[in-house]
Structure 1
Amino acid sequence: MKLTANLSLLYTELPMLERFAAAATDGFAAVEIQFPYDTPADELRRALDDTGLECVLINIPAGDLMSGGKGLACVAGRETDFEAALAECVEYVRVLRPHCVNVLAGRAEDEERSSALKVLSSNVQKAVTQLAPLGVQVTLEAINTFDMPGFLISTFDDMRRFTESSAADIRMQFDIYHMARMGEPVESLLTNYGAQLGHIQFADVPGRHEPGSGELNFERLFAAAEQSGYQGWYGAEYRPEGATSAGLGWMTKYQNRSN
């Protein structure tokens, strides 16, 4: 089991460039960053090299999505903006060399759903066309509608249908927290579909804090994923209840498998 620290949510008590060393000291073998674009790519590369960490995943810029807007990837009329975001992502990919790049679908009204899916499909194809030659797996994730109302891809079936129907090579990014918040049967989904996933992320429910802080049995969930044949990384994408390092007691169960 290979664990990554999501530096957008973990170690936020430190400046971004200091989070790498903290993650390495705590035993993580790799990191992921939701949106690395506020820090020059060469500075991030230097932090990776100095600590010996790998970069597992970044997201394509999502426009106004995180501030309550619709985002870019599924929004008709914003195709040029998505292409500019993708171009910026490609420049970071060339430097950071992540394993995966995630596409955040964005929000759509119910009556826009059909057209939004077509826009998303076209934009995903553009992403795969540019990123696959760089050795990057493009992923797409479902996000719960409690945290992000109106998100276009919010259930496991939404995500599965989209990826299975796509002509592009895109894989599902399975976020345990988001799926649990949507009431999905997380353990059985990991058992049945784990081998098809491109990336897994996790946080406990309902508070999106570290494992052990809520309702989920991570021993069973991680075992289900591994027994399914999943070969990828597990991204710790949660909001620590206190200082990040102080809340890493859960890692002791998996330490030998994370290095």
Structure 2
Amino acid sequence: MLAVERKLRIVEYVRQQRMATIAALAQQFRVHEATIRRDLTELEQEGFLRRTHGGVILEQWTHHEQSFSERAIQQLDQKARIGQMAASLVADGENVIIDSGTTTLHIAKHLVHRAHITVITNDMNVAAELRDAPMVNVILTGGELYPSSYMLNGMFTEHVLRSLHVEKAFIGTPALHPKYGLMHPEARLVTAKQAMIAVADEIVVVADDSKIGKLSLHTVAPNSSIHTLITGAETEDIKLKPFVEQGIKVYAV
């Protein structure tokens, strides 16, 4: 088999399997592992695949974010687990930012009975979830309302955020890449997230397994900005290892 044909077949094989080890590819195509390593290096340079420790995964892009109503019913059990874990990291007396999103909403659900916490958010759903929490102080950032998601965004949102300082910020994302970091397909939503990250001592990213390893158009922040990642137990170890190697504390719950 010619090298060009083998590389095309490798790409097709990984598309079907989503990921593969060097040993499995060598066995599949009956060549030495050194040959597979060379093929994978060339394919990565050409943008088809991404090398991982001992293997390869398919690069997946997020070109747009689904509507709030669509996202709200996906990975519900996983998001609930992520939210519970994230809420457990909030100490009584802390000031925290909770980003807008369907995963971050589950953090609020687990903070209702906590004491002396201040939550700053640009999400009206998060604020509504905490409206009857007697010991939680809620601050809405203000800003332009996005009716489809009850999110607040824009110049006013960023102005309020940049006037604050908090212990933790819980950030949601549609794409988290091991090389390029936090990513988002919509430029208008990037700067508010960057403001949240800029004013927090600790950054906690919450993302279900479908977001891990994804690429998107805009980089919000590099992985060096992230202290903790909370995802679902459904996320494969091969996807999480690069984040661990970069010093990020990872919880797969």
Give 1 or 2 for the bigger CA radius of gyration: 2
Q: Which is bigger in relative contact order (C-alpha 8 A, separation at least 6)?
A: 1
**TM-score (normalizing by structure 1):** 0.35
> Greater strand share, 1 or 2?
2
Q: What is the TM-score of this pair, normalised by structure 2?
A: 0.35
Which structure carries more helix by proportion? 1
